[in-house]
Chain A
Amino acid sequence: MSKLVEGLYYSKSHEWVKPLEDDVVLVGITDFAQSELGDVVFVDLPEAGETISQEDEFGAVESVKAASDLIAPVSGEILEVNEELVGEPELLNKDPYKNWLLKVKLENTDELGSLLSSEEYEEFIK
């Protein structure tokens, strides 16, 4: 069974979004995503200051065998990148909800409405 965290927003491409304050969110990958992928050996992320657009690819999470594209669940400016993942990509396997990828300033908070709730996501990955 894949773990879920209540109160997060989920995308069908298996990213999660956690609202922090105002229009700032954290973005990560779900437990389902990390377990499908297997051992993460490399995380390819954009840089702070760049922007991401909802449904566009913004990087990749890679296991020994395969690269899996990261798809932006929301649009906005990247405020911070979790640099810890560069040296220790396996953190994504250990706790994918604690180890976020990006901190993003949302361009349009309405986009959160297009994402799935934890109940809806749970149903989606069944």
Chain B
Amino acid sequence: MENLKKTCLYDKHIQLGAKMEDFAGYEMPIVYDNIKNEHLAVRNNVGMFDVSHMGEIIVKGKDALHFVEKIFTNKVESLVDGQVAYGMMLYQNGCVVDDLLVYRFNEEYFLLVVNASNVAKDYTWIVENSSEFDVLIQNVSEDYQEIAVQGPNAENILMMSLGIDLSELGFFFFANFEFLNHHLLISRTGYTGEDGFEIYASEDAIREIWDVLINNQVAPCGLGSRDTLRFEAALPLYGHEISQEITPLEAGLKFFVKLESDTDFIGKQALLNQGENLSRRVVGIELTERSIPREGYEVYHENELIGYITTGYLSISLEKPIAMAMINRPHTKKNTPIHVKVRNKMIAGFVRDKKFLEKKYNKTKGV
């Protein structure tokens, strides 16, 4: 794995005995001890993830607001300074370049947080589409390291261990904080379906924070549990539920696409055309026999191939075999009986909603 990049926490992962694997060109911790324990630590208490591999791109300049509106599916103009929005960037044909968080500092300065596997592609695509705008685009991924602290005790543990009071920080808001003379950017965001925070800072700061949190018994969690957690919360992962061959409408992410607004983002027309004529959609699947539906497995209805699994697990929180699947209409209706082909056996199940578990976001704080 010599050619892989390492995050600033690499040596700490090795010391903790993490199982390391290539992810998006980085040698990343998949699991430290046990995926189930890491998963449950986040659901029931608090856990943390090294997500320094994520990409960060700054868009600044006089036209920054209008440019971000042009490339982003969700609202931008109505965001207040210090607010975050989740959405996607689309190709003209409506398929997804990437999904991302947009941090609005002010109307002339935005931070875009994108998938590690897509940083280079995203940067090129953003720059290519910026020619008519007075903006400067900078890929600052190397300067921003990141830890996600997630779980019902995240706020308490950050107060106790770092002395940072996040009680007034609202859901999907961010603010600047100081810790031992380090500057931190912290948002109440995450990828687990739990309350939690994402902390962006320099290498030195992130290394110190990691140690402090480890000493305060925050469970280190690898990419294995990051995936089982985001899956149970039905959050999409690029390359699975969304991709350059899938539109947000097909992925069931209409909520994050502002089709009714005046802003004309790239790909909007294609989505309006697709509209109600969707030929397929991501749905939930639950199996009624013991088995595990895995990514790529075929889904059938009365011997007809109707789609494939995009992500599936024996859910750790629910202890049931569930999946998200891309299914052809009209078989997307709830309770449609289906079979998933598992190693040449047809395993029975049914179409269900994607609300596998109740998200526990804290939307009471701040604004």
**Nearest chain A residue, comparing its CB with the CB of B224:** A65
Interface flags, A53-68, vs B, CB<8A=1, else 0: 0000101101111110
CB-CB nearest in chain B for A86: B290
Query: For window 287-322 of chain B, which residues contact chain A by CB distance below 8 Å?
Result: 290-292, 294, 313-314, 316
B36 A64 Cβ-Cβ under 8 A: yes
A residues sitting closer than 8 Å to B (CB atoms) are: 38-39, 41-42, 44, 57, 59-60, 62-67, 69, 86
* Contact indicator B343/A64 (Cβ below 8 Å): no
Nearest B residue to A58 by beta-carbon distance? B343
- Known contacts: A65-B224, A67-B294. The answer to whether A60 contacts B36 by CB under 8 A is no
Q: Which residue on chain A has the smallest CB distance to residue B38?
A: A64
Return the contact of B35 from the options A39, A62, A69 (Cβ within 8 A). Answer: A39
In contact, A64 and B291 (Cβ under 8 angstroms): no
A65-B35, A65-B224, A67-B294 as given contacts; A42 in contact with B343, CB under 8 Å: no
Q: Would you call B34 and A60 a contact (CB within 8 A)?
A: no
Whether A64 and B294, one on each chain, are in contact in the complex, defined by CB atoms closer than 8 angstroms, is: no
What is the chain A residue whose CB lies nearest that of B31?
A: A38
C-alpha spacing A69/B36, complex, angstroms = 22
B150 at the interface (CB under 8 A from A): no
Query: Which parts of B20-63 form the interface with A (CB within 8 Å)?
Result: 30-31, 34-36
Nearest-Cβ distance from residue A26 to partner chain B, whole angstroms:
23
Which chain A positions have C-beta within 8 A of B294? 66-67
Q: Could you tell me the dominant secondary structure of chain B's interface residues?
A: mixed
- Which of A44, A57, A64, A69 is most buried by chain B, counting CB atoms within 10 A of its CB? A64
Inside 8 A of A69's CB, which chain B residues have their CB?
A: 343
Chain B residue with minimal CB distance to A43?
B290
| A66 closest partner in B (C-beta) | B294
CA distance A60 to B292 in the complex (A): 11
On chain B, the residues within 8 Å of A67 by CB distance are 292, 294, 343
**How far apart sit A90 and B38, CA to CA, in the bound complex (Å)?**
17
Indicate if B247 sits at the interface (CB-CB under 8 A). no
Distance in angstroms from B219 CB to nearest chain A CB is 16
Interface of A is mostly: strand
Please report the C-alpha to C-alpha distance between residue A24 and residue B278 in the assembled complex, in whole angstroms.
57
Encode B218-241 as 1/0 by CB contact (under 8 A) with A: 000000100110000000000000
**A66→B35 CA distance, assembly (Å):** 12
Evaluate contact between B343 and A44: CB separation under 8 angstroms: yes
Complex contact A62–B36 (CB within 8 A): no
| Minimal beta-carbon separation of B246 from chain A (angstroms) | 23
Q: In whole Å, how far is A106's beta carbon from the nearest beta carbon of chain B?
A: 24
Inside 8 A of B34's CB, which chain A residues have their CB? Answer: 38-39
Per-residue 0/1 for B274-294: is the Cβ within 8 Å of any A Cβ (1 yes, 0 no)? 000000000000000011101
B313 touching A64 by the CB < 8 A rule? yes
A38 CA / B314 CA spacing, docked (Å)? 15
Known: A41-B314, A42-B314, A69-B343. A62 touches B31 (CB 8 A): no
Chain B residue with Cβ nearest A64: B35
A44-B343, A60-B343, A64-B314 known; A38 vs B290 contact (CB < 8 Å)? no
Q: A57-B343, A64-B313, A65-B224 are in contact. Are A42 and B31 (CB under 8 A)?
A: no
Residue from B224, B227, B228 whose CB has the most chain A CB atoms within 10 Å: B224
B292 close to A42 (CB less than 8 A) = yes
Give B194 Cβ to nearest chain A Cβ, in Å. Answer: 18
> A89: shortest Cβ distance to chain B, in Å?
10
Q: How far is the CA of A44 from the CA of B344 in the complex (A)?
A: 12
CB within 8 Å of A: which B343-365 residues = 343
The 6 closest A-B pairs by CB, nearest first: A64-B35, A41-B314, A62-B292, A42-B292, A65-B224, A39-B34
Q: Tell me which residues across on chain A come within 8 A of B291, comparing CB atoms.
A: 42, 44
Q: Is the CB of B290 within 8 A of A64?
A: no
Please name all residues of chain B whose beta carbon is closer than 8 Å to the beta carbon of A86 when the two chains form the complex. 290
B335 smallest CB distance to A (angstroms): 25
Contact residues in B for A42 (Cβ distance below 8 Å): 290-292, 314
Contact A38 B343 (CB under 8 A): no
A116 shortest CB reach to chain B, Å: 26
| A78 to B: closest C-beta gap in Å | 16
Residues of A within 8 A of B342 (CB): 44
User: Which residues on B sit within 8 Å (CB–CB) of A39?
Assistant: 34-36
Within the complex, what minimum Cβ distance (angstroms) separates A91 from chain B?
Answer: 16
What is the bound-complex CA distance between A41 and B128, given in angstroms?
A: 47
Q: Which residues of A contact B227 (CB under 8 A)?
A: 65
Residue from A41, A59, A62, A64 within 8 A of B224 (CB atoms): A64
